Structure 1
Amino acid sequence: MSIIPQRSEMPSGTTYVAVGRGEPLVLIHGVGMKLEAWSPQIEALSEGFEVIAADLPGHGESAPLTGGTDLRDFVSRFLRFLTELGRGPVSVAGHSMGALIAAGLAVEAPELVRRVALLNGVHRRDPAARDAVRQRAAEIETGRFDREAPLRRWFGEGHEHEGAYALSRRLLAEVDQQGYATAYAAFANGDAVYADRWSEVICPALFLTGEGDLNSTPDMARAMAASTRLGQAVIISGHRHMVNLTAPEEVNAALADWMNRTGEEACHDA
């Protein structure tokens, strides 16, 4: 989309775009995607905010992390990115893997996070779901994996000719295999890393998912919201994992409402 300008790069190796003016909103995409996955949000929300969308390590044009990293390494990379931005406290929204990173930032770097939003975030998978996602991570590490399989989980059947599906397919086809494998391993093992610490987060926190998302479930969103001081769960009916692309108007409205909520100046008790 023409709304997305040429990327800039920080010394940390993170590439990003910044569009619009106003209070800063940082967007972090999910595994296998790149910042273009936020196109509807960049276009709509940049009318009232400065929207800063970044590529995950090893995705898009961002430098990779070395193999064997976990979620905390991704959080550390984005902590450095926020410091390099120099915007002071920002609002951070993440999707899927990006949601896990956003959660980590709210806990580990409270002085830099004004609000936090998790879109299609995972929280305490049950044993069967944990085993399944770890098995997928192992398959991706081998380089022999079906790049259509995530699309079937994310969208269900019958959506192959829709624009959101086509964009997601293209981004998955372009992702670097090792960058994908590294991020997916961290994603597969990251659902419980910050799960016990939501009660410490005191800033406005949004937990949004699709009603039909079988892996980032409505129950997960509600559980996180219930354990957070200013938590709010929003469930989008009739949609699944890529809800920011398939229901952009509803998601944009929820994000704009969250951006207008006030609370503490930081996301963590002193």
Structure 2
Amino acid sequence: MTTARAVPIVFVHGTRFSAGQWSVQLTALRDEFPVVAVDLPGHGALSARPWSLSGATEVIARAVDSLDCGPALVVGHSLGGYASLEFARCHPERLRGLVLAGASASTRGAWAAPYRWVAGLVPRVPADRLARWNDRLLRRLYPPEVVEATIRSGYAFHTVPAAWGEVLGRFDAGAMGSVKAPVLILNGEKDTVFRSGEADFARAHPRARVELVPRAGHLANFDAPDAFTDAVRRFARQLSAVG
């Protein structure tokens, strides 16, 4: 049962996914915390809505307000992590804490080049083929209880060029200067690409720390759902304790 002091938690999904990415975390945490997961513009239930970073921040803001418990802990993965950084800049009064998962790499400079190439390539492959590939991959790698909600919600391949086109070139460790709340940088131990800047991101914020999910990759909440959830739970409890 949630308590009056429990910090509300908003989960923000990564590239091509939807709120279904967080089904395991929502189930595990909802008895202790008010929780919700969002669909970003162009994804899930908002598939027909054009992507924009400003629109993403407003989706997160409305989710925080919907819980009606004051400022929230926002947990953002990959694309959702960068959208959460923008939310922190635009709506600091709504943020109690931030978890950046797989989103502590600079999106500027040479690092961005291969991702621009991939974002440009995606529209050239039929979406139904990409969906079948993703379904097979997820079912091969993970148990049904971890990924079936994601598979049922479908994929937003049509949004990838616009989403990463706006994120690439925009974020580096300097973005942490706009975050006024405590930050947990939560990365999969094997996610060498998206944790490449974690030390710089942590140094750029006086109340940031890094925690690694052992043996997990970029999809850490799929690779090690219990460990990922436990890390979020501990951080949320710390925020709740300080009020």
**TM-score under structure 2 length normalisation:** 0.81
Q: Deviations over 1:84-143 (max 9, x none)?
A: 654421111111111111111112111001111111114314744310000111112445
Match of 2:186 in 1: 208
Gaps of 5+ in 2: none
- 1:147 maps to amino acid: L
Asked if 1:54 is matched to 2:31, the reply is no
Deviation at 1:228, TM superposition (A): 1.0
Query: Does the Cα contact within 8 Å between 1:206 and 1:258 map onto a contact in 2?
Result: yes
- CA distance in 2 between counterparts of 1:167 and 1:84 reads 26
Deviation at 1:31, TM superposition (A): 1.2
Deviation at 1:186, TM superposition (A): 3.0
Gaps of 5+ in 1: 1-18
Q: 1:101 aligns with which of 63, 73, 83?
A: 83
RMSD value over aligned CA atoms?
3.4
Match of 2:230 in 1: 253
Match of 1:117 in 2: 99
Match of 2:115 in 1: 133
The structure-2 alpha-carbon separation of the partners of 1:132 and 1:173, relative to structure 1 and needing over 3 Å to count, comes to: farther
**TM-score under structure 1 length normalisation:** 0.73
Q: Deviations over 1:15-52 (max 9, x none)?
A: xxxx9674310000011111111122111111210111
- CA distance in 2 between counterparts of 1:168 and 1:214 reads 26
- 1:90 maps to amino acid: A
Match of 1:16 in 2: none
- CA distance in 2 between counterparts of 1:197 and 1:176 reads 26
- CA distance in 2 between counterparts of 1:55 and 1:196 reads 27
- 1:139 maps to amino acid: L
The structure-2 alpha-carbon separation of the partners of 1:164 and 1:124, relative to structure 1 and needing over 3 Å to count, comes to: farther
Deviation at 1:260, TM superposition (A): 1.8
- CA distance in 2 between counterparts of 1:209 and 1:58 reads 25
More contact order relative to length (CA 8 Å, sep ≥ 6): 2
- CA distance in 2 between counterparts of 1:224 and 1:249 reads 25
- CA distance in 2 between counterparts of 1:24 and 1:177 reads 30
- CA distance in 2 between counterparts of 1:239 and 1:137 reads 24
Please give the secondary structure, in 2, of the residue aligned with 1:147: helix
Matches within 5 A, 1:1-270: 22-62=6-46, 64-66=48-50, 69=52, 71-83=53-65, 86-125=68-107, 127-144=109-126, 147=130, 160-163=140-143, 167=147, 171=151, 174-192=154-172, 195-217=173-195, 219-262=196-239
- 1:174 maps to amino acid: G
Deviation at 1:168, TM superposition (A): 7.8
Q: Deviations over 1:64-92 (max 9, x none)?
A: 4436x4x3442244334444654421111
Please give the secondary structure, in 1, of the residue aligned with 2:190: coil
Matched residue count: 237
- CA distance in 1 between counterparts of 2:238 and 2:178 reads 18
The structure-2 alpha-carbon separation of the partners of 1:137 and 1:173, relative to structure 1 and needing over 3 Å to count, comes to: farther
- 2:90 maps to amino acid: E
- 1:250 maps to amino acid: A
Percent identity of paired positions between Structure 1 and Structure 2: 22
Deviation at 1:220, TM superposition (A): 1.9
Deviation at 1:147, TM superposition (A): 3.1
- CA distance in 1 between counterparts of 2:109 and 2:13 reads 25
Q: Deviations over 1:128-186 (max 9, x none)?
A: 431000011111244557738x96xx99xxx9343279828963992244234433433
Query: Does the Cα contact within 8 Å between 1:204 and 1:261 map onto a contact in 2?
Result: no
